[in-house]
A and B are shown apart, each in its own frame.
Chain A
Amino acid sequence: MSSSTPLLAVDGLSVVFRGRGSDEVRAVDGVSFTLEEGRVTGLVGESGCGKSVTSLALMGLLPDRGVEVGGSAVMRLPEGPADLLRLPQRRMRDLRGSQMAMIFQDPLSSLNPVVPIGRQVTEILRRHRGMRGPAAEKEAAELLHRVGIPDPGRRLREYPHQLSGGMRQRALIAMAVACRPRVMIADEPTTALDVTIQAQILELLRDLVTEEGTALLMITHDLGVVAGLCDDINVLYAGRAVEKAPRAPLFAGPTHPYTVGLLGSIPRLDAPRGEPLTPIRGSINDNIAWTQGCAFAPRCDHYTMECLQGPPELVAAGAAAGTRTRGPDGGSGGEPVAEHVHRCVNPLRGTDTADRSAPEGPAAAGEDEEAQG
């Protein structure tokens, strides 16, 4: 494996739900991104844009009936690269928890209410590391300690309802890191938590990435959360990426009206008092099919007739509008080689957004939130 191949390369991922009788739902429609060791990749977008479905598809956790998954997700595994979307269920079960782990949004409902925390930690040690008895318990206590849970010996014997929200999420993180997975997916891990706890959990995740070299896929609807944490950011809208870039260029000069709208709805400390937030009007339900044009058009202040002439392509930002910059293969599934790409025919060009710079560190997100409250 040359070091140039990414740890996990997701290419043209699509997920279609076909309910019996009902219309098909294209929850994810050709999403591509890569995960690298020690880097945090963000998946950002409003509720319903397909973030969770993307992560569940990668984990092989989508329902086994009524779902069609397309594209590929090639991961570098100890025994060679393999496409996660095509591995048999049994093999995926071996990988889940050991090579890849996931943290969910609601820590209370994500923990089994009738099983002690200790058991829920040791069961994964037993499954993937063959540890049992006192050895497993000792390791479980160490894991809890590591994620910042005080008095782990006692906590191991307690049940989820006896822990605070932040501690539950820490316990889930302990389970996720128990087998040193190389890919970790966090699906809105802080949404259900208090702002102060949010910042702590984000910091913990950042530390784990730095110390373990884990690749983290961070899912959120809140650009403020990713601001301090993510190295690369993918903005999704209605199942497709509408803008993607490393953190600095994205915050310095977002070009897609939707991204600008998302950024506009983050309160800023340096904004003059009383300046209204500019949330995006309408909701994700006000969209048209990508096949007809830009799905964001009904909510976009910049749309023109061109926006409704078929789906906009993902093109390099900064290049002349409409220039398609394909990879060397230039073929299907290839994506622009540019660092900063967007899917828009009338992109915004810097001037009105350039004064925006990325906030520093995960704590910055928390502070922003607190300033709001």
Chain B
Amino acid sequence: MLRFIVRRLLQLIPTLGGLSILLFVWLQRLPGGPEYALLPDDATAEQRAALRRSLGLDEPITVQYLAFLRRIVQGDLGTSLGTGRPVTEEFFTRFPATFELGVTAMLIAVSVGVPLGYLAARRRGTVLDFAAVGGSLLGICTPVFFLAFILKVVFAERLGLFPSAFRLSPGMSRTDLTGFVVLDGLRTGEFDVVWDALLHLALPGLALASIPLAVIVRMTRASVLEVLGEDYVRTANAKGLHRNTVRTRHVMRNAMLPVVTAVGLLTGSLFAGAVLTESVFAFPGIGSFVYAATQGRDYPVLTGFILLIATMYVLINLLVDISYSLLDPRVRAQ
């Protein structure tokens, strides 16, 4: 197991290396640069060229890349052009917000998607099944940005049921321990803060949950249908076990295996949705910052954040693979 983990972590190095090269090439091709975003529109060509020089952007790309590598080895991802603060600091102050949003979205997706997928499989061919399958198709096709916007307009602005922006209501005071609002609130007993934070998480969480929810419904349904036809489920029924025992121990334990893998991949892909969702709800997380950094051509932030997100992605999937191997003894043996 340890060797497996170490091997996976070592694989991270070539992955990040390749990704950083791609990023460098891609940023190079992006029209416009920081000299347009940072300087006023009436700046002269000389001023823009000077800025490029001072940022080292006039060097050949290989030289830039090597300099970047030299810094990164020392744990330095550079400084944001927009805020002047270190990229890592910017990342880790915003990370708790996005983490809470992502967890909310995955909790919604799993807690609704798994039971719904199971019911759709058990009631195959009924109205419920068609509704679940059709609804999930809709969920996959609807752009997250659009859904977030609709939710905000309807439930926040029209109906006023939920706040339309930020992590907490303005003027809400709280004790900051870790940056995780919900966790801190639970630790310190500030339940009004917890409730307020949850209200703020609801709509963006729902928007972000749409694609994972849809995927989980379909995967669970397919997986349950397959497992229901397995011989060992027939054996369990032949033993006269209670329906609940058959369902949990024999059907769901096996049917969840592919879903667990999917949850890992979906959690990773949440970052893409977070960029759009956070922007719509002015949610102060990584996503909205990346969005702003794209607008401002903040190269160090873009490169650094994307590399950190990729690292998270790999770590999340490593965790998922570890938990998978705990769930499936056949994998453990290998």
Shortest distance between the CB of B76 and any CB in chain A (Å): 46
Instruction: Report which B residues bind A (CB closer than 8 A).
Output: 230-232, 234-243, 245, 249-250, 253-254, 257, 327-330, 333
User: What chain A residues lie within 8 Å of B232 (beta carbons)?
Assistant: 109-113
| A104-B231, A104-B235, A123-B249 known; A113 vs B329 contact (CB < 8 Å) | yes
B239 touches A123 (CB 8 A): yes
User: What chain B residues lie within 8 Å of A59 (beta carbons)?
Assistant: 238
| A104-B234, A111-B235 known; A127 vs B240 contact (CB < 8 Å) | yes
B237 touches A61 (CB 8 A): yes
B242 touches A101 (CB 8 A): no
User: What chain A residues lie within 8 Å of B236 (beta carbons)?
Assistant: 112
Shortest distance between the CB of B125 and any CB in chain A (Å): 8
A97 touches B249 (CB 8 A): no
Shortest distance between the CB of B251 and any CB in chain A (Å): 10
A159 touches B240 (CB 8 A): no
A61 touches B329 (CB 8 A): no
- Name the residue in B234, B245, B328 with the highest tally of chain A Cβ atoms < 10 Å from its Cβ: B234
B235 touches A97 (CB 8 A): no
Q: Is A67 an interface residue (CB 8 A)?
A: no
Within 8 A of B (CB), among A7-65: 59, 61
User: What chain B residues lie within 8 Å of A115 (beta carbons)?
Assistant: 249-250, 253
| A61-B234, A113-B232, A115-B249 known; A96 vs B240 contact (CB < 8 Å) | yes
Shortest distance between the CB of A321 and any CB in chain B (Å): 42
A127 touches B238 (CB 8 A): no
Q: Is A146 an interface residue (CB 8 A)?
A: no
B238 touches A97 (CB 8 A): yes
Shortest distance between the CB of A176 and any CB in chain B (Å): 8
Shortest distance between the CB of B241 and any CB in chain A (Å): 6
Name the residue on B nearest A92 (C-beta).
Answer: B240
A94 touches B240 (CB 8 A): yes
Instruction: Report which A residues bind B (CB closer than 8 A).
Output: 59, 61, 92-98, 101-102, 104, 106, 109-116, 119, 123-124, 127-128, 159, 161-162, 172, 175
Other-chain residue from B234, B237, B245 in contact with A123 (beta carbon distance below 8 A): B245
User: What chain A residues lie within 8 Å of B327 (beta carbons)?
Assistant: 114
User: What chain B residues lie within 8 Å of A114 (beta carbons)?
Assistant: 253-254, 257, 327-330
Shortest distance between the CB of A363 and any CB in chain B (Å): 28
Other-chain residue from B235, B245, B253, B333 in contact with A162 (beta carbon distance below 8 A): B333
B238 touches A61 (CB 8 A): yes
Name the residue on A nearest B251 (C-beta).
Answer: A112
| A106-B231, A109-B232, A161-B333 known; A97 vs B254 contact (CB < 8 Å) | no
User: What chain B residues lie within 8 Å of A159 (beta carbons)?
Assistant: 329-330
Name the residue on A nearest B253 (C-beta).
Answer: A114
Complex Cα spacing A172 to B333, Å:
22
Other-chain residue from A94, A95, A96 in contact with B237 (beta carbon distance below 8 A): A96
Shortest distance between the CB of B93 and any CB in chain A (Å): 42
A113 touches B238 (CB 8 A): no
B330 touches A113 (CB 8 A): yes
Shortest distance between the CB of B198 and any CB in chain A (Å): 35
Complex Cα spacing A304 to B25, Å:
84
Shortest distance between the CB of A60 and any CB in chain B (Å): 9
- Name the residue in B238, B245, B254, B329 with the highest tally of chain A Cβ atoms < 10 Å from its Cβ: B238
User: What chain A residues lie within 8 Å of B242 (beta carbons)?
Assistant: 93, 127
User: What chain B residues lie within 8 Å of A111 (beta carbons)?
Assistant: 232, 235
| A112-B250, A115-B250 known; A124 vs B231 contact (CB < 8 Å) | no
Complex Cα spacing A92 to B240, Å:
8
Complex Cα spacing A60 to B328, Å:
31
User: What chain B residues lie within 8 Å of A128 (beta carbons)?
Assistant: 240
Shortest distance between the CB of B246 and any CB in chain A (Å): 10
B238 touches A101 (CB 8 A): yes
Complex Cα spacing A98 to B239, Å:
8
Shortest distance between the CB of B327 and any CB in chain A (Å): 7
Name the residue on A nearest B227 (C-beta).
Answer: A112
A175 touches B239 (CB 8 A): yes
User: What chain B residues lie within 8 Å of A95 (beta carbons)?
Assistant: 240
